[in-house]
Each structure stands twice: as C-alpha cells, then as structure tokens.
Amino acid sequence: MQADFTRPGREQVGSVIHVDDAGTKANVERLKLVVLHGDKIGEVIVIRGETTVGRNPNEPHAVSVSHPSVSRTHARLWRGDNGWYVEDCKSTNGTHVNGARIVGACALHHGDIIAFGSVVVETCCPTRSLARGDARNAVNRDPLTGLFTKQYANAHLEAEVCESYRRGRPVSIIYTDIDDMGALNDDFGRSAGDGILRQAARLFEERTRRSDVMARVQGEEFVLILSGVPLSICVRVGRRLLTALRDHRISPALPPGGVTASMGAASTQGRWLSSQDLLEEAQQATQLARSKGGDRLRVLSSSAANQAA
C-alpha cells in the first residue's frame, strides 16, 4: 500500500520521501520533504518549525500520512539550537533512524534513513534539483549503470522489511560482487571495466521483475531486493543470474565465461531481522562464495536453517 503525505491544502504525495536539510546541520532553518517515489515525485513540503507526523489530518502543524503502519500522532520534528531532531510519540510501530528504533530525541544528519512505521524518508544534500526528472535521475539512479543508488536501495529495503512484518510476507535479497574486477580493469582498462559493469547491470535488469529493485551499491557490487519472495525462490533467481552472466559474452575482448560473480542470498523468512542485519548477512554469504573461488551463490547456515524450519 502506498502512503499519502498531505499538508492542509496540498496535493497527496508518495510513500518514500526525501528530507532535505536546507543548509548545514547547525543553523538550519527548514526541512524540505521531497517525494522521490510515487506518482507525485518531485512534490515538495517545506517544514519551518515544530511539526507532527501522523494519520490525524486535523492536528495543527501536521504532516498527514495515510498509511496503516503510521499512528495518528506518530512522531514530531523540530528545530533545536544545533539542527533538526526527530522524536517518536509512543507510536505502535515505532520510529527508526538508520535501522535502529529511537527512544527520545534523535539528531538528524545528512544521509540518515528514517522510518515512520513502514513509511521511509531519507536526508540528503540540499543542492539536489527538485525537478521531477532530475529528482528521479540524479538522486535515485547510478550514473554509470542506470541502476538505483545505494541510498535509494537502503530506503526501499527499510520500507520493505517493515512492511514484510506487518503483512507477514518475506523479503529476500541477493548481494552480488563481480569476480576479479580489479584484474579485468588492469588487463583491459578502466573504460572496458565500466562497460562490463553496464552490461552486467543490463543483463540483471532484463532477468528480474519490474517490481524488483536492483541497485549498484559500490564499485562492482550490486544488491537485488525481492519483495514477497521466500529464500528458496531467491536462491533460484540468483543461480539463474549467475548462469546468464557466465554464458553471456559481456565484452568482445572476453570469451563466454570471462565474467563471473560471487553472490550471497538472505531472507527475513521465519525470523525478525533489521534491514541492516539482512544486508550484512547477504554480504557475509557473498564473501563466503568468493572465498570458495567465486562464480557461485552461498547462503549462511542461519538463513538455510530458518528456511528448513
């Protein structure tokens, strides 16, 4: 379900928003809530003083969020002497900053990920353009591959994990590291290496669902977020991607099989994990796959045990 953020007299906006500090953390005078996902991408709500976030549209100085995971008075934002703060108002599902449930006031910094229930916001640099296309492309998309960015993936994963517990459905992820990328760059040059990353990204996107989120998180590392997918199917998807990458001639300079990857899969299936814990488990499984020679997918025993249970 998509959340609606409204201000009195304003249009409804989307479920993932972006909190933009207007200046440095100290002496900042306002927050801008900029929609980064949904029908109203680019919509801006400016907050200049103490503001509550919740489902109660009649409360003064409030941002109304029409989503069942958000309490009537969920949290409040205010500007102190040293910047902006957020505090949970004894909400049912809590307010989380960077994956941790907050107790009391929490100072906000650039790059923080905030979740009101399963509705996620993120803090970002104020120099970002607010134009509809610029917000989508410059903020959400990696300029080299066209995949989603690490920041967008973190926000999306946070929201999906919260939603998965509310709805009782799993979220699974596949973390991918292209094998021997450093050697490929040394042998064929950085431009060829960039081309390999672009081709791999295209191959991955062509073989996943439109609803899946594929992001480049750093260098030659990617993450695929699969909502509503159990671990067994996640593993099947990962192995299919491994085979496609191995069999595809990514570059004319390389034979088929010249580019492979190490993958790690993890899932919330049958247990409670934060989005950060889920990501770290997938990364550890990827490291295990790399230590075994690469060109394979691994799952940590904790995930496999919960799948069996």
d(CA 174, CA 157): 12
54, 75 Cβ separation under 8 angstroms = yes
SS3 285: helix
Residue 220 among the catalytic residues: yes
d(CA 126, CA 133): 16
CB neighbourhood size of 111 (10 A): 13
d(CA 140, CA 122): 12
112, 138 Cβ separation under 8 angstroms = no
d(CA 116, CA 5): 12
Catalytic residue among 220, 221, 280, 281: 220
Backbone angles phi, psi at 222, to 5 degrees: -130, 160
26, 131 Cβ separation under 8 angstroms = no
E runs forming strands in 211-306: 213-218, 221-227, 261-267, 296-299
List, as one string, the DSSP characters of 178-227: ETTHHHHHHHH-HHHHHHHHHHHHHHHHHTS-TTSEEEEEETTEEEEEEE
d(CA 124, CA 34): 10
d(CA 124, CA 20): 5
SS3 158: helix
Residues known to be catalytic: 220
